[in-house]
């Protein structure tokens, strides 16, 4: 793993604030609250540093569409793919991974505590609401 990815992962692990539970089957069952320490892009949309919730908009078990929303209502949705956790292990914590390239941070992956899968965002398919 690149040094910048490890740094971003550490920052995001420290930024996860909590989880809320909602009924679901094969999709994300939690609403994740995360503090983004940096301005972060999702597709062509830049979200300022701050607190956001992340949830799956599709409750029918189809390909996930994740919504990233701030408390003041700014929201972005992005399609995602289920990905297996490294070494098929259960994620020890819920975390958001940012990819750091040059001077920008980009929303990359989400891992859910106790699950052996996560979500890989498709930033090219993101749209602002």
Residue 14: inside a domain, yes or no? Answer: yes
pLDDT band at 31 (very low <50, low <70, confident <90, very high): confident
Write the DSSP symbol of residue 91. Answer: B
> Token digits for 69?
């929303």
**Whole-prediction pTM:** 0.71
The mean predicted confidence, pLDDT, of the chain is 77
Residue 129: inside a domain, yes or no? Answer: no
Domain extent at residue 118: 3-124
Residue 68: inside a domain, yes or no? Answer: yes
Residue 109: inside a domain, yes or no? Answer: yes
**For residue range 93-127, what is the model confidence (pLDDT) as tens digits?**
888 999 998 899 999 999 988 989 899 988 665 66
Residue 87: inside a domain, yes or no? Answer: yes
Mean pLDDT of 51-68: 83
- At which residue do the structure tokens 């949830």 appear? 55
Looking at the structure of the chain, the number of domains it has is: 1
Q: How far is CA 82 from CA 66, 109, 112, 118, in A?
A: 11, 10, 11, 6
- Return the SS3 of 5: helix
């Amino acid at each position: 793993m690149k040094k910048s990815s490890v740094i971003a992962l550490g920052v995001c692990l420290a930024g996860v604030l909590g989880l809320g539970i909602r009924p679901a089957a094969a999709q994300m069952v939690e609403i994740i609250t995360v503090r983004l320490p940096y301005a972060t892009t999702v597709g062509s949309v830049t979200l300022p540093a701050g607190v956001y919730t992340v949830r799956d908009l599709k409750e029918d078990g189809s390909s996930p569409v994740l919504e990233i929303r701030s408390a003041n209502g700014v929201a972005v949705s992005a399609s995602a793919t289920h990905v297996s956790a490294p070494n098929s292990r259960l994620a020890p914590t819920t975390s958001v991974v940012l990819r750091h390239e040059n001077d920008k941070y980009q929303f990359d992956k989400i891992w859910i505590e106790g699950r052996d899968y996560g979500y890989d965002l498709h930033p090219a398919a993101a749209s602002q609401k």
